[in-house]
Every structure is written in C-alpha cells, then in structure tokens.
C-alpha cells in the first residue's frame, strides 16, 4: 500500500468520521489492514507534533478569542474546579 493511499484513508476517516466498514468499501481493504495503517499514520502525525506543531502559549493560560466568543465551544473551556471534602460528617463542595 502506498503512502498516499494511507494518508487518503486517514484523512477520509477523520474528515467524514467514517467507520471501518465504510473505509473497507471505499478502499477495498480488510478492516485489519485499515486499522494497521491508520495507526501507523496516526503515530507519524503524533511524531510531527513535537517538531512542527507548536502552541504560541505553551502553558495554555489563555483561551483563544475564537473559542471565547463562540457559544458552541466555550462551555467546554469554562471549567470550574470543584473540591469535595467531608468535615464532621457534612459534605462540602468548594468551587475554586
């Protein structure tokens, strides 16, 4: 199997959220083969992240403006830490 075909399957799965069976029908490979090459490409992409993909904010202290103003994303980033403790048999939830 060629590298371009591996990448095509990988992108097809990610872009369309395709199942293994859908990819089998499209590319005419066994499910085991698709899994094997998907994992290989995923591992390669992961290795690229350490060299190529770098965040401007390496500590992730600031939320990007596009996420802050979009109500679809912000609920997932608006996290409040909840501390739970029991004092003298009384349950306390402390929000921080």
> Is the same domain home to 21 and 46?
yes
Contacts of 34 (CB under 8 A, 6+ apart): 9, 20, 23, 24, 27
Beta strands in the chain (DSSP E): 82-87, 90-95
The reply to whether 34 falls in a domain is yes
The reply to whether 59 falls in a domain is no
The reply to whether 57 falls in a domain is no
Q: List the domain range (segments joined by +) for residue 71.
A: 65-95
The reply to whether 28 falls in a domain is yes
Cα–Cα dist 96/94, whole Å: 6
The reply to whether 60 falls in a domain is no
| Cβ–Cβ under 8 Å, residues 32 and 38 | no
> Is the same domain home to 7 and 46?
yes
Q: Per the structure, how many domains does the chain have?
A: 2
List the pLDDT tens digit at each of the 96 positions of the chain: 788 999 999 999 999 999 999 999 999 999 999 999 999 999 988 888 777 766 676 666 777 788 778 888 776 666 555 555 555 555 555 554
């Amino acid at each position: 199997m060629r590298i371009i075909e591996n990448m095509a399957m990988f992108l097809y799965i990610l872009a369309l959220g395709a199942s293994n069976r859908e990819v089998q029908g499209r590319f005419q490979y066994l499910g085991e083969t698709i899994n094997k090459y998907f994992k290989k490409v995923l591992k390669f992409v992961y290795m690229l992240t350490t060299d190529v993909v770098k965040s401007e904010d390496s500590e992730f202290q600031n939320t990007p403006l596009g996420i802050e103003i979009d109500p679809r994303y912000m609920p997932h980033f608006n996290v409040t830490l909840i501390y739970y403790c029991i004092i003298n048999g009384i349950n306390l939830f402390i929000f921080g």
